[in-house]
A and B are shown apart, each in its own frame.
Chain A
Amino acid sequence: MVTPLRSPILTTPRVRHRKSIEKLRPDQLKALRDGFGAIKTLRDTNGFWFWAELHGAPKNKCEHSPENGYDNLFLPWHRAYLYRLELALQTKVSAATLPWWDWPASRDSGGVPAAYEDIAGEVNPLASADFPPLIAELTAKEGMPTSTWREPGDARRLPTKAEVDAILELKDFDDFSRTLEVQLHNRVHGWVRGSMGIVAIAAYDPLFWAHHTMVDRLWALWQVLHSSRGPRPGIWKRILRGGLDLTVGDVLDTHALGYDYAASTAHREVDS
């Protein structure tokens, strides 16, 4: 029997779907946990610390509200950042995808998603992470823990669906980006408190990545709602700093990065 050749080029590339953390199947949650567990042990460019240290201390490469509100790279930079961390996860566990934290849904379910809480008698790689030695030395000097911690507020203070929907209605991209960042993104960081409330060490908390995946999802929804990429073409060639190796133009379309967002998905292979 001759086995037909299957070239990767002839195989339809599939985009992956990032889903709500509340709606992951057990096998999908396991893949996520296994992925985070695996990259936490790495000390190379696929390692969790390698990526976490890029956002805040010690490298401080994240992009947030600029003074003039113009050429705001908050959304493109963090999209590229999520993409690179997700690739690191998939290098170790191919089925792993980043889930999004549905803030409004969490108002009724206790706040921090259960998947990111401690599990009695088990190690949950999503519950916390140690800081690398350099950062742990500095947090200890400040009287802080040497691994991530959270001190969340009342869950009813998380953003409502109406607040999220109102921001999605904003027509101007810079207005949308700035409002999303200051009114929702910053607010949720401050709501979680602990290391998530501190720019310098927030990205070491695994919850950071679900929080920012929600932010990225809202940009993707805005793009669909307004039939617009967002950033003005004049900045599409801007390189996103910190060694992300992508330009603004590279991250305008999630499909070009191999993912999309879905509340849930169902697939059936078809024999032809």
Chain B
Amino acid sequence: MILTFWDRLTINQKLAVTAWLFLLVPIVFYVTIRFYPTFEAFYVSTLKWNLLGTQKFIGFRNYEKIFTDEDFWLVLWNTFKYAVFGVPISLGIAFFIAYWLNEITFGHDWIRALYFIPFLTTAVAMAWVWRWFYQPMPIGYFNIMLSWVGIPQQPFLKSIEQALYAIMAPAVWAGLGFQIVIFIAGIRAIPRSYLEAAEIDGAGRWQILREITLPSLRPTMIFLTVVSTIGFLRIFDQVYTMSADSSGGPLNSTKPLVLMIYEYAFDEFKLGYASALTVILFLILMVISVLQLWLMRKK
């Protein structure tokens, strides 16, 4: 009797072979679509390359050029502004709503649904709606409503000072539903015994909130802060749709890093320079993720 290769294996060896067989296609996928492109991005960032032209190795010169480019610093500052203002505003509102929503039972699901629905919308579609709201009279609803209470017309998207916040608003709006649902889940996961013990000890609502609810929500807070910080740092859809000709204007005042990457790579085809920008984005996001792991481990 001739034993085939398969028959000669022990049970554990058979299982190991099966496991690698199951992983075969996924490994090919992760290597070719995730890891190889990651290294390629680093590699291309060291090239001077205009897509159709020849590739020339220039070391860190793309990075040198980026760091001496005034526009880059403006764009980086814009990108941070989206996160620095967007994250606390949205988490603050979301927690406030989640806290009170958790206490009501009548129609709870339906009210929660109202807050959650914007999360399910397409960013580009809603960016159009908000862009329309921001138009001057007689089109834009915001200006129409301002005129009712006698406040002068606001330029919103046409103003260097206001445009970034006007574009941030729909991003905050769309993210609230997700954050509220996660906050409610976090609040409900707090053991009832903690709250009851505090109540028996005569702690008031404010004291319970400050000494039990908020500290217990620490992991939820860290999770949501990181997720939404990364989200705001990668903002693109809204800016692309809401700024005239998708330019991140007026005068680059709303342009985030991802839009700059998009322009260099796919309008000007400066792939080396654009890749260097993506590496910078990667490093920024990496720092935030590492910070999250460190914060989570501390307790």
Partners in one complex: no
B residues apposed to A, CB below 8 Å: none
